[in-house]
Structure 1
């Protein structure tokens, strides 16, 4: 599923190519938000230097755009920190931000969710990411990034987009809420170990499982009708949806997909299973329960 409509949450490589070719698109900024799973010996920033969509800048949500005072990975920063770092990327509150990653559709939606959470709705994901751009035979850029002229971005935290563990724990039995876990089925059931050490296996009580890969086909979203059917099987249209995953990255794929089909109240549990599974006071259901 792709779209060529400007300023929607999902845009095609054809749309982006045309927009970059149009000199009037001075308010467009392209961000590479590539991030890899723990243990993968690859540097997204180095790979950006080697190969990128023209004019792309690096959206570093693992370091510069992550809360500093926590052991949890890439937690949402404060609005002040987000404003500072996004301003350094040459983004203002009037900028149309288009985000991609080098895996097709993996970590880019995390960037989309962060902008939404900070009150910036003029943000899109590139459907199919860098692989789709390359497959289309479109121009690539390499070498060191050009210097960026800073601008002013003012973030305004939209609290309904994010939730912490304590608040989520209170909502697990609320019929107005559906908690949906994006991890693969085996991890959700607790039949395999978690990739991070010291994390219990299993899932939250009453949580549903929708593996993020079930929504994708070769880095593109499947048809909206198919996405809707998957969400309708797990939740009612009026329910608030709270998404979790391993560390708050692929949960954002589900949030984006739900947004595409018109679901309204969407929340990501930022700490996700890395926090929940490591904190003994929070309940866990697994194959041994």
Structure 2
């Protein structure tokens, strides 16, 4: 069988369906519950055939941190990928049950740890179901043959609150906040009641919904037009949100639009909004 080549950072449901049985393909369901919604996905008990659950909340976040969804160590990430049966030559497609929500977070982790053969399923399970493609009931507690996945890049890809404080006034750096405009302006409540409202000084607002249409990523030309509206050429771009999930959506959009030097503020507003010694704007 021919070597499988991913067509880009995004793949269509048609492409995935065509290559569903390729032996090098690993499909990961990286779904999490949407923190700003009380609704559960209607498809929560279904999965794309052969999918394996990529547990962002437990296996692929730092369990020692008091903050949610923090990036795990490279060693933990590598070990848990191996336990999912992921190999060094695996071609990974990641989806979620909302459309494009948590899947870019999993994509970002893989890509920043040096595994470039990874893509997000554009539209996720809703698009798969819309095209009436086959599904199966979700299974739990699966045990896979141990994979030989290895971390290829341990370079830094996140910033912390101390670095935000030192860089937020730097004209060569721009912070983009993926939360809704209401949360950014502090005029609607945070989903976590212990957090203050507002935003990091000098950060700009790009709600993650602006880069999506019907739960799919906008075409590249439209993404370029969106980012052209910001003065970001040759700048370090730091992406923030509520807890590091939707920041990865707009980071993926920026990479699709051709930007580099992209960073995640992993603590995001869950950290900044509860600190007592940092400035906040409204």
C-alpha RMSD over aligned residues: 1.9
Which secondary structure state, in structure 2, belongs to the residue aligned with residue 178 of structure 1? strand
State TM-score, norm by structure 2: 0.93
- Which of 26, 31, 56 pairs up with 1:29? 26
Q: Which residue matches 1:86?
A: 81
Which secondary structure state, in structure 2, belongs to the residue aligned with residue 97 of structure 1? strand
In structure 2, relative to structure 1, the CA distance for the partners of 1:57 and 1:168 (3 Å cut) is: same
Provide the rounded CA distance (Å) in 1 between the counterparts of 2:195 and 2:202: 19
Could you list the runs of 4 or more consecutive aligned residues of structure 1 that deviate by over 4 angstroms after TM superposition? 39-44
In structure 2, relative to structure 1, the CA distance for the partners of 1:27 and 1:194 (3 Å cut) is: same
The aligned length equals 277
Superposition pairs of residues 11-26 of structure 1, within 5 angstroms: 11-21=11-21, 25-26=22-23
Provide the rounded CA distance (Å) in 1 between the counterparts of 2:138 and 2:251: 34
Gaps of 5+ in 1: none
Provide the rounded CA distance (Å) in 2 between the counterparts of 1:231 and 1:253: 13
Q: Tell me how far 1:110 sits from its aligned partner.
A: 0.5
Q: Which residue matches 1:154?
A: 150
Which secondary structure state, in structure 2, belongs to the residue aligned with residue 186 of structure 1? helix
In structure 2, relative to structure 1, the CA distance for the partners of 1:80 and 1:158 (3 Å cut) is: closer
Which secondary structure state, in structure 2, belongs to the residue aligned with residue 20 of structure 1? coil
Gaps of 5+ in 2: none
> In the alignment, does 2:136 pair up with 1:141?
yes
Q: Which residue matches 1:261?
A: 257
State TM-score, norm by structure 1: 0.91
Q: Which residue matches 2:57?
A: 62
Superposition pairs of residues 269-288 of structure 1, within 5 angstroms: 269-286=265-282
Provide the rounded CA distance (Å) in 2 between the counterparts of 1:42 and 1:154: 37
In structure 2, relative to structure 1, the CA distance for the partners of 1:87 and 1:47 (3 Å cut) is: farther
Provide the rounded CA distance (Å) in 2 between the counterparts of 1:162 and 1:98: 23
Q: Which residue matches 2:69?
A: 74
